[in-house]
Chains A and B, each alone.
Chain A
Amino acid sequence: MDKAFIQRRRRDLVVAAFLAAIAAAVPLFVKDVYVQNIMVLTLMYAALSQSWNILSGYCGQISLGHALYFGLGAYTTAILFTKFGVLPWFGMLAGGLISALIAMALGYPCFRLGGHYFVIATIVIAEITLLLFQNWDWAGAALGIDIPVRRDSWLTFQFTRSKLPYFYFALALACVAWFVTWWLEDSKWGYWWRAVKDNPVAAESLGVDVFNSKMGAAAVSAFLVAIGGSFYAQFVSYIDPESVMGFQFSLLMALPAVLGGIGTLWGPMLGAVILIPLTELTRSYIGGSGRGVDLIVYGGLIIAISLARPQGLVSLFSRKPKPAAQPAREAVAS
């Protein structure tokens, strides 16, 4: 194994631990509830985007329907708690497992589709599920489910007075998602995924099990996203189909990874740290009256970064010396 590679991985782990420790200390100094709220959302989207990145970034199967798993996680927890009194912790696990199973069941037909056909299938499946939930009376239909607040407790994972428990859970989730990615990056799966992304035909001929690689990535990705959905249901304590399964969640999971660097270890984290506070701040300071300024900032940023930095912002931190410019090839290409 490449020595520089092992060193880089070890450095990543140390940096991650260091950043997590700093993040954990931040609430000791920042007491403002509004800011804490933004921090919780940032960590949650970092975790979601990191999970999305496993299937779409590493394995190259671009999903714009991950809101499905987010919603399933949220609904499983909420339904089990309100209808059967099952504690959210078990609901969380159940939501994750159900989502992973559904991801594999959907992957079975969908992974045969290529390119845009696959992307549109993911959008369409999430949309169908959203419509079904909106018409499913037992699950509250379009009105959704109000999760009754008992009292502040880790047992029921409900806190009305402080945001801190949510903050630490979101931090833990982001760390787990990061660590899973870090760990898988250097496993058999990680190499398979990158091979599948770069050239599935070549990968297949070299003995990579392309189909099962995709299934594995989908299951891990869906499981983690569903945990995020369960967390969100507890955090906002009221869910309805549009607010947990709407297309905007699929988008908000993809964007941090795209901005930060798709298929990279740090991209989703970096993207979320920039994007989510920016969204929240523009929304509350400029776009408060629903005048669309937040969308303008957002859209402009997406265009600018995807054109100017297609490898994502994380490439700004890359220590690798840039390859020398190739004037000859440039001239031919243009």
Chain B
Amino acid sequence: MTAETIIQSLASGLLMGLLYGLIAVGLALIFGLMDVVNFAHGEFLMIAMYATFFLFAFFALDPLLSAPLVAAALFIFGAVVYLLIVRFAVRAKANTGMVQIFSTFGLAVLMRGVAQYFFTPDYRSIPHSWLGGKTISIAGIYLPQPQLVGALIAIAAFAGLYFFIHRTDFGRALEATREDAGAVALVGIDKNKVFALGWGLGAALVGLAGAVMAIFFYVFPDVGASFATIAYVTVALGGFGSVFGAFAGGIVVGLVEAITTLILPPSLKTVGIYGVYLLVVFIRPRGLFGSI
């Protein structure tokens, strides 16, 4: 193992980590807003990947062009999921925590079933896109272009999100609602509207990630499951609800995955991520950046 291979894999780990952060940030946003974990988050990613795939298959639209469309579609989807399911789940009078977990979990199972029914369990991929399969050499390190552009999109998305939360009225309403939903209602902000927009925004972010992922990853009904576990770990590492914790958590996860792949056989690569999760929460039970 030369220094070059180590730098090489750390660099691709970093890129992948930024993408993991982008996948996870929607989950963190929604949790921070209303203390609900969306257990269908992986399936949101899955339908975003399918949407990207079909836009390519039917309209020959490159994933980079369809990304904004997919994000917009996911925004609507997320808001609808809130209005149809989550809105009622958080109102449950008994077993509230359980109802939240299992209503979104049921949605995940349902979406997977629907995907299998309409799209068959086949693995699909986008055979040729602007970036697919291309690499770029920077100072002797080869970086896959899809991941590189994905990482740049992730950084841009995080910057945009930062601006959005701190500089816009809606962002302030979002922050205020997560601080104290009851008080927000008193000053005339419709809590439901904020929550619906929060879900829309969270889904749009994972939609963006899905469009990028579809460039270099297979699309199939269960694709969300493995990325979802990584997303939960990412969010928990950063500390549930901390949007920028998800960013940092993603980078940690990407680097740990790269290092694990250097040491252990590829089939064990997620063991490193899971192990680091356990290590972190055993030492800091609320994650790296979570408030105690």
Residue in contact with B111 in the complex, picked from A291, A299, A301, CB distance below 8 Å: A299
Are A120 and B95 in contact, CB atoms less than 8 angstroms apart?
A: no
Q: Could you tell me if B281 and A310 are in contact, using CB atoms closer than 8 angstroms?
A: no
**Contact status A310-B94, CB under 8 Å:** yes
A7-15, A122-130, A215-223: which lies at the B interface? A122-130
A113-B285 Cα distance, complex, nearest whole Å: 6
**B263 interface residue, CB < 8 Å from A?**
no
B116: which A residues are within 8 A, CB to CB?
Answer: 290-292, 295
- Please tell me if the beta carbons of B95 and A302 are within 8 angstroms of each other in the complex: no
- Contact B98 A295, beta carbon cutoff 8 Å: no
Contacts of A310 in B (CB 8 A): 92-96, 98-99
- A121 CA to B232 CA in the complex, in Å? 10
| Chain B positions 72 through 105: 1 when the CB is less than 8 Å from some CB of chain A, otherwise 0 | 0000000000000100110111111111011101
> Least Cβ distance of B87 to chain A in Å?
10
Q: A316 interface residue, CB < 8 Å from B?
A: no
Contacts of B89 in A (CB 8 A): 306-307
Binds A, one of B55-63, B140-148, B266-274: B266-274
Interface residue ranges of A58-74 to B (CB < 8 Å):
62
Which chain A residues lie closer than 8 Å to B184 at the CB level? none
B-side contacts of A296, CB under 8 Å: 110, 113-114, 117
Judge if B236 is at the interface, Cβ distance under 8 Å. Answer: yes
Contact assessment for A125 and B278 in the assembled complex, using a CB-CB cutoff below 8 Å: yes
Nearest A residue to B36, CB-CB: A116
Q: Which of A90-118 touch B at CB < 8 Å? A: 109, 112-117
Q: How far is the CB of A58 from chain B (nearest CB, A)?
A: 13
Question: In the bound complex, do residue B278 and residue A115 qualify as a contact, i.e. CB atoms below 8 Å apart?
Answer: no
Contact with B along A285-312 (1 / 0, CB 8 A): 0000011111111111111101100111
The answer to whether A117 touches B286, judged by C-beta atoms less than 8 angstroms apart, is: yes
Contacts A62-B101, A299-B106, A306-B98 aside, 20 further interface pairs with beta carbons under 8 A come to A114-B286, A117-B236, A117-B240, A124-B229, A124-B277, A125-B278, A127-B270, A263-B95, A291-B116, A292-B221, A298-B110, A299-B111, A302-B109, A303-B103, A303-B110, A306-B106, A307-B88, A307-B103, A310-B93, A310-B95
Q: Provide a sorted-by-A list of 28 A–B residue pairs whose CB atoms are within 8 angstroms.
A: A62-B98, A113-B281, A113-B285, A116-B236, A117-B236, A131-B268, A131-B270, A132-B268, A258-B98, A262-B95, A262-B98, A290-B116, A290-B121, A291-B116, A292-B114, A294-B113, A295-B109, A295-B113, A296-B113, A299-B110, A302-B106, A302-B109, A306-B102, A307-B85, A310-B92, A310-B93, A311-B94, A333-B91
Hey, which bits of chain B sit against chain A, CB under 8 A? Answer: 31, 37, 85, 88-89, 91-99, 101-103, 105-117, 120-121, 221, 225, 229, 232-233, 236, 240, 265, 267-268, 270-271, 274-275, 277-278, 281-282, 285-287
